[in-house]
Structure 1
């Protein structure tokens, strides 16, 4: 009886598997160390957790954006912990970071009921990471909130390819994103109070495109909430 020869994995599949395996080993190696200071004691030690308990603050106004609130800045400890969550597969940070984001969500919503709509990850970034960081943050923020709610299904979707925003200035970011997002089910959003959620706001181009798509669908976008404002 002849046996089929084992298939050789495609190069890109093998590369993804290698990256995923390395990330898993790194996660095990660092799992008992704080993402902020690297001291033993869990994903986020009490000292770093206290340092991150800052009140939400209003961001400077950006073209096309509603009032946006940030849980903090994008430097030092705040940046280190956020990058660990996004780039080092530290998914366990979603809960404390989401709770921190909750303050910005409440301020953006005016402490009234609102639907949280996370900015969706680019497909390439989603494949690379294996998860959507902003979606996890929004879910955690909703669980920590008494007024904010997550929709039952994804609201926004990419309808065309978008390049990486890193290194682009404001105008090029805007051109890169214009018309990139669409609402999956416009009828479900008509008249709903919405807060757009993202991890970092820089020029505001990403938030502005999300707001454009949501308002075109009839949603009442009352604000935006982010973990960090990058000035």
Structure 2
């Protein structure tokens, strides 16, 4: 019910830029430039945790980009899912470049949020962004779909305030694949997606859970690549 109210209120209440508050536009040109005005780049947190997949990010998590993500995630600015998805699509392209005809679809696998967080917000922000990213990829000629095949199978502590090491311990073995995920992932290129990477702990755990069904060139397993909307500026290197 809360999610529906946000959808309806967004149509009738005055619109302001989610990044800077400029009136009469949900996303001004200046904030759009900060969000997806540059090519996606490789990102590595410091320290870089063992098992982190290759991560590409669209933008630095500061100022307008931070405000846009928080407006969508915490304040229910649903209309921002589309531009955030466009930014994520750019990072996905960098993470899984096309290699010619016959390549299977890009399979966007969201890092799952805790159920209590989704209930508190009244919507699933990352899933909305991922769906928008898949739509943007298809619009530009790249087959893509969203596969929410990861789930939390045990409760974890709130990550806020934890050190990088504590976050890794907190999330260790916290995710599992949903039943039937193996068949859904065949024939495509899986890319883990998230809105934000800070220490990389969530992506390490998601990659561990997903890598069991990703066959490498030598018959083993390999960690999937990952794409995120934003990272702290110091992670770009």
TM range (shorter): 0.7 to 0.9
> In the aligned structure 1, how far is the partner of 2:52 from the partner of 2:39?
21
Instruction: Tell me the secondary structure at the aligned position of residue 107 of structure 2.
Output: strand
Residue 17 of structure 2 corresponds to 34
The residue aligned with 1:134 is: 126
Partner of 1:165: 159
Which range moved further: 192-201 or 25-34? Answer: 25-34
Q: 1:111 to 1:51 in 2, by over 3 A?
A: same
Give the distance between the partners of 1:114 and 1:105, measured in 2 at CA: 8
The 1:57–1:72 alpha-carbon spacing in structure 2 relative to 1, beyond 3 Å, is same
1:56 paired residue among 40, 48, 52? 40
1:147 maps to 142
190-199 vs 51-60, which moves further? 190-199
Deviation track 1:21-73 (CA, whole Å, cap 9, x = no partner) reads 99789857864111112111221123322333222111026321121000111
How far residue 221 of structure 1 moved from its aligned partner, in angstroms, is 4.2
Q: Is 1:36–1:77's contact at 8 Å kept on the other side of the alignment?
A: yes
Instruction: List alignment gaps of at least 5 residues for structure 2.
Output: 100-104, 216-221
Q: Secondary structure at the match of 1:150?
A: strand
| TM norm structure 1 | 0.82
Q: SS of the residue aligned with 1:218? A: coil
Query: Counterpart of 1:14?
Result: none
Q: Which runs of no fewer than 5 residues in structure 1 stay unpaired?
A: 1-16
Give the TM-score taking structure 2 as reference length: 0.80
Worse overlay, 24-33 or 62-71: 24-33
Report if the CA contact (8 A) 2:191-2:224 is conserved: yes
Distance, in Å, in 1 between the alignment partners of 2:115 and 2:206 is 16
Residue number in structure 1 paired with 2:93: 106
Q: Return the match for 2:204 from 183, 204, 208.
A: 208
Aligned partners of 1:202, 1:163: CA distance in 2, in Å? Answer: 16
Higher mean C-alpha deviation, range 84-93 or range 42-51? 42-51
Which structure is larger by alpha-carbon Rg, 1 or 2?
1
Matches for 1:183-202 after TM superposition, within 5 Å: 183-184=177-178, 185-188=180-183, 189-190=185-186, 192-202=188-198
Task: For residue 192 of structure 1, report the CA deviation from its aligned partner.
Answer: 4.2
For 1:3-30, what per-residue CA distance to the aligned partner results, in whole angstroms no more than 9, with x for missing partners?
xxxxxxxxxxxxxx8x889978985786
